[in-house]
């Protein structure tokens, strides 16, 4: 039997997550990646640089992040194995757990659902605004619900399936290298002029890192939901991201609701294709259903992690 590091890490994250009191005192490990990215951008993404130089600097930044994250995780694992010997897998799981986001994602989306179900639209807009980048001030009930379901389904990949995939494949260094790239994509992997060239490498690397996990995440949602396959295969490519559409389309198919569509960012409406367009708009109760599907999918990944641990 292999060391059940991934299974224990999932259990730790589900049980305690990253408590607010701990965040208030030491922050979160991804905060270190954010500071490193900020330092690289300040030094290398100067406006007067050419597009070519900015793109090259972005490649170097992505490389620095991967080396720092993977190297730091490798060193930490080596130290833990020296100190704890046969019980090292417990310590490694403790370091891996913050790279997963089962509980955090559930907590954030559950707060949106609770506000919607008690008819508190201002509270629901405020809650969903913490997890999405779109304008939320004018969202109605279906709009808030749609935004929360989209964030839940996309983050199932970024926050759970993908980090678990890389943990199982490459161990602790793989998980934290993925988290570093994903953080970089969130911060600088945008198409705005400031980041388009500098963030190009981080965005493309994140696309590659999510290529397999996104599709496996969509499969997991369809398996636990008992349907959604046709919608996933038909509509996944309607998303602007090469990966996010898989879990989003799978969730739309499982719930039989439509997602995406026109979305406003900074006052500008972006016309996006509908995913699951033949279905009706989601209602607050559908967000509760989405959370149930998400939790079952997380449990499915627990089974996968447990099965991998039994492989010699």
Q: Which domain holds residue 44?
A: 5-309
pLDDT tens for each residue of the chain, 312 residues long: 578 999 999 999 999 998 888 888 888 999 999 999 999 999 999 999 999 999 999 999 999 999 999 999 999 999 999 999 999 999 999 999 999 999 999 999 999 999 999 999 999 999 999 999 888 988 999 999 999 999 999 999 999 999 999 999 999 999 999 999 999 999 999 888 899 999 999 999 999 999 999 999 999 999 999 999 999 999 999 998 999 999 999 999 999 999 998 888 877 888 889 999 889 999 999 999 999 999 999 999 999 999 998 876
Q: Would you state the pLDDT for residue 283?
A: 95
| 239-265 residues labelled b (16+ CB within 10 A) or e (exposed) | bebebbbbbbbbbbbbbbbbbbbebee
CB of 269 closer than 8 Å to CB of 263? yes
What pLDDT is recorded for position 22? 85
Report the alpha-carbon distance of residue 247 to residue 156 in Å, rounded.
8
Distance CA 302, CA 312 (A): 18
Give the phi and the psi of residue 265 in degrees, each rounded to 5.
Answer: -125, 120
Instruction: Please give the distance of CA 177 from its chain centroid, rounded to a whole number.
Output: 14
What pLDDT is attached to residue 312? 67
Q: Quote the DSSP letter at residue 286.
A: H
Kindly tell me the burial class for residue 87, based on how many C-beta atoms sit within 10 Å of its own C-beta (0-12, 13-18, 19 or more).
Answer: exposed
**The pLDDT of residue 1:** 59
Q: HEC string of 173-197?
A: HHHHHHHHHHHHHHHHCCCCCCCCC
pLDDT tens sequence across 218-267? 999 999 999 999 999 999 999 989 999 999 999 999 999 999 988 888 77
Q: How many domains does the chain have?
A: 1
Distance CA(266)–CA(284), nearest Å, equals 25
Question: Could you read off the pLDDT of 124-154 as tens digits, one per residue?
Answer: 999 999 999 888 988 999 999 999 999 999 9
49 secondary structure, DSSP code: S
């Amino acid at each position: 039997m292999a060391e059940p590091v991934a299974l224990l890490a999932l259990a730790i994250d589900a049980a305690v997550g990253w408590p607010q009191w701990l965040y208030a005192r030491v922050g979160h490990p991804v905060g270190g990646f954010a500071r490193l990215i900020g330092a690289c951008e300040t030094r290398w993404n100067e406006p007067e640089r050419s597009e070519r130089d900015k793109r090259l600097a972005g490649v170097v930044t992505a490389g620095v992040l991967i080396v720092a994250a993977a190297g730091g995780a490798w060193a930490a694992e080596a130290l833990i194995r020296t100190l704890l010997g046969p019980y090292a897998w417990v310590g490694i799981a403790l370091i891996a757990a913050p790279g997963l986001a089962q509980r955090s994602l559930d907590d954030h989306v559950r707060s949106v659902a609770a506000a919607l179900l008690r008819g508190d639209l201002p509270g629901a807009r405020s809650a969903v605004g913490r997890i999405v980048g779109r304008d939320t001030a004018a969202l109605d009930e279906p709009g808030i619900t749609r935004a929360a379901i989209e964030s839940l389904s996309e983050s199932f990949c970024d926050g759970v399936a993908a980090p678990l995939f890389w943990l199982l494949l490459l161990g602790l260094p793989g998980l934290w290298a993925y988290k570093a790239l994903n953080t970089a994509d969130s911060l600088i992997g945008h198409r705005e002029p400031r980041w388009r060239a500098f963030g190009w490498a981080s965005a493309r690397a994140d696309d590659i890192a999510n290529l397999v996990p996104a599709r496996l995440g969509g499969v997991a949602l369809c398996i636990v939901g008992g349907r959604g396959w046709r919608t996933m295969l038909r509509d996944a490519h309607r998303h602007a991201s090469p990966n996010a559409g898989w879990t989003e389309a799978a969730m739309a198919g499982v719930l039989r609701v439509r997602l995406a569509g026109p979305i406003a960012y900074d006052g500008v409406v972006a016309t996006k294709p509908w995913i699951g367009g033949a279905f009706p708009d989601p209602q607050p109760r559908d967000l509760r259903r989405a959370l149930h599907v998400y939790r079952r999918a997380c449990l499915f990944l627990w089974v996968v992690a447990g099965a991998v641990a039994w492989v010699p």
